[in-house]
A = this chain, B = another copy of it.
Amino acid sequence: MERRSDLCQDGSMIDSHPRAERRVVALSREQIIRAAVAILDDGGIDALTFRALAARLSTGAGAIYHHVANKGDLVAAAAVDAVSSALTQADDDAAHGDIRAVMLSAFDAISTRRWLGTQLASAPWQPAVLLLFERVGSELDAMGIPEASQFDAASVLVHHLLGIASQVDAGNRLSGRHTGRQSFLESATAAAISLGPPVAYPFLTRISSQLAHHDDRDQFQAGVDIIVSGVMAR
């Protein structure tokens, strides 16, 4: 059976003679980034290798470098994609001037796509972070926060988000089928407590049940509320 053309996983046409030949359709940066996001959503950052990406695009590993500078550039671009769509999502959901809604959709994107939190927290002031900054800032403006306070306020909010982003994939990474998130946190706390004796850990001990049973999303919202009242209180 001679097939003369085939549908590649991302929907582009390629030729498929027995020996590898020239692509029928040129690769594009957008196509590459879309494929990268799919791999990231599927298997996380470790699954995204140039070999895997090239295979999915039915091309050679080297070809990708014609459209993307390196792996950092690639993941940064994927993050821009993910953040934009999260913020567009917020457009639909929310009334204008509602920071909580914007922050929550960013949070949801981050906790759904674990690679995103890792990426946002790993390269400083990358475009995706500036995108968040822009949106949070303009929301603050719409809320009537004075211009002089907007920069500091946006900064705490975004940093809080990034901080949470870095901690959010907690249970998922380490726990197998047997350990849920809660017992993971509990055992981490227990491990820390047993780090002593140089110091005891009275605070962790006291709140360990809260730590174990808290919901990340609720906690995030509580943090946003604290920050917003702090901003208002000035």
**Which A residues lie at the B interface, using CB under 8 A?**
80, 84, 118, 120-122, 124-127, 129-131, 133-135, 137-138, 141, 147, 150-156, 158-170, 173, 184-185, 188-189, 191-192, 195, 198-199, 201-204, 206-207, 210-211, 214, 219, 222-223, 225-234
* A137–B226 touching, CB < 8 Å: no
* A122–B124 touching, CB < 8 Å: no
Docked CA distance A130–B211 (Å): 11
* A129–B167 touching, CB < 8 Å: yes
Residue from B127, B206, B230 within 8 A of A228 (CB atoms)? B230
Chain B residue contacts of A125, Cβ below 8 A: 167, 170, 184-185, 188
Chain B residue contacts of A231, Cβ below 8 A: 226, 230
A interface: dominant SS: helix
Docked CA distance A160–B158 (Å): 9
Q: A204-B134, A214-B151 are in contact. Are A167 and B156 (CB under 8 A)?
A: no
Further 20 A-B residue pairs, CB within 8 A, beyond A130-B188, A147-B206, A153-B226? A121-B121, A121-B162, A121-B163, A124-B170, A125-B167, A126-B188, A127-B188, A130-B189, A137-B207, A151-B210, A152-B223, A156-B222, A156-B227, A159-B159, A159-B160, A161-B163, A226-B231, A227-B227, A228-B230, A233-B233
Chain B residue contacts of A147, Cβ below 8 A: 206
Chain B residue contacts of A173, Cβ below 8 A: 124
Of listed A121, A163, A165, residue having the most chain B CB within 10 A: A163
Q: A127-B195, A131-B192, A173-B124 are in contact. Are A163 and B167 (CB under 8 A)?
A: no
Question: What 5 A-B pairs have minimum CB-CB distances, sorted nearest first?
Answer: A230-B230, A159-B163, A137-B203, A163-B163, A162-B163
Docked CA distance A191–B225 (Å): 32
Chain B residue contacts of A191, Cβ below 8 A: 127
Question: What is the minimal beta-carbon distance from A60 to any residue of chain B, in angstroms?
Answer: 27
Docked CA distance A131–B199 (Å): 10
Question: What is the minimal beta-carbon distance from A38 to any residue of chain B, in angstroms?
Answer: 22
Chain B residue contacts of A156, Cβ below 8 A: 160, 222-223, 226-227
Docked CA distance A225–B159 (Å): 14
Docked CA distance A204–B133 (Å): 8
